[in-house]
Amino acid sequence: MDFTRRGAVAALSAGLAAGLPLSAFGLPEQTGRAPVPGGTIWWKKVGSGAKPPLLTLHGGPGAGHNYLLPLAALANDRPVIFYDQLGCGRADSPADEKIYTIQRAVDEVSAVRKALGLDRIVLFGHSWGSMLAIEYLCQGRGHGVEKLILGGALASVPQAMAGQQRLIAQLPNGGGKRIHALEAAHKEASPEYEKLTQQFYDLHVCRRKPYPPELAASFDIVGKSIAYRVMNGPNEFTIVGVIKDWERRRDLGRIKLPTLITTGQFDEVTLDCHETIHQGIKGSRLKVFKDCSHMTMSEQPAAYVAALRAFLA
């Protein structure tokens, strides 16, 4: 199937929704496990070809690889590699909370590359995965990384949290004030709080309904993930875990790679976060997808894959 055509990408998305294996579209698959600090992770390699593989880093932390599967449409001319990070999905989920650190996750990327022989790669990171990619590269671990793609991206959790609070303040019918009132009353488990949280998600996390099955799977995974609870917190806009103070804005100049930054018009990671990265990485490109939010690859998969393909050409 010629995935350079948007119709083919739409067919792949429909196939994922129907539960068809990627092999049904002529994309060879391999799966396995790899040792990493703290346990083992599960990986999937799709496609083949001589071009540098695309190594994907999913969000969360703890969302699993599933929602990134539309990127398999890029696998007709290069391998695309997905993996579940420790603490979610098919990876091990050790109960020891001290394991779940940013540094361990960075070391995990190196371990995955070593296990799979990924000397030359294109690195893709979405949401938390964008943080992980930035941290990995700022630590000087990017030997063999030829290009970088960052989606729903941030270089500073405090900056992202400030943007989320602006979005909460803009919720209709005084929703933002009610969220804060319920938080002050410690009523985060109430149906009203859950309804308001879902309203934020519907506006700023994924605007497509119903959710594609691969995205619904990731939402289910993140809801059960120890990595998400320990590293992030109870929900998308209450970041009180390990990552809450992470900051790399001043270090973005260390990244000297051709870079594409993508975001949605209504992304929960607000535009200023993406502009900060765009300004910090010399020569980078920034693309905003109209009518999308955080999960652009789920909301407009054909347009998203086309943008990535053009950058990778």
- Between β-strands 54-57 and 29-36, what pairing exists: parallel, antiparallel or unpaired? unpaired
User: Is residue 215 within 8 Å of 295, Cβ to Cβ?
Assistant: yes
Residues 6+ apart with CB under 8 A from 75: 3, 22, 27, 46, 47, 48
| Helix ranges, 144-184 (H) | 157-169, 175-184
Do 257 and 299 contact (CB within 8 A), yes or no? no
- The DSSP call for residue 242 is T
CB 9 within 8 A of CB 76: no
Contact 86, 36 (CB under 8 A): yes
Active-site residue identified among 127, 225, 284, 293: 127
Q: Is 143 a catalytic residue?
A: no
Give the whole-angstrom CA distance, residue 262 versus residue 26.
Answer: 28
Residue 59: which region, alpha, beta or left (left: phi > 0; alpha: psi -120 to 50)? beta
Catalytic site residue from 13, 225, 294, 298: 294
Identity of the amino acid at 17: A
Q: What is the rounded distance in angstroms from the CA atom of residue 112 to the CA atom of residue 114?
A: 5
* Residue of 13, 130, 267, 274 marked catalytic: 267
Task: Tell me: cis bond preceding 28? Omega within 30 of 0 counts.
Answer: no
Active site residue 77: no
Spatial contact of 60 and 85, defined as CB atoms under 8 Å apart = yes
3-state secondary structure of 142: coil
What radius of gyration do the chain's Cα atoms show?
Answer: 18
Active site residue 267: yes
Cβ-proximal residues to 247 (8 Å cutoff; 6+ apart), any chain: 155, 156, 157, 158
Q: Point out the residues that are catalytic.
A: 127, 267, 294
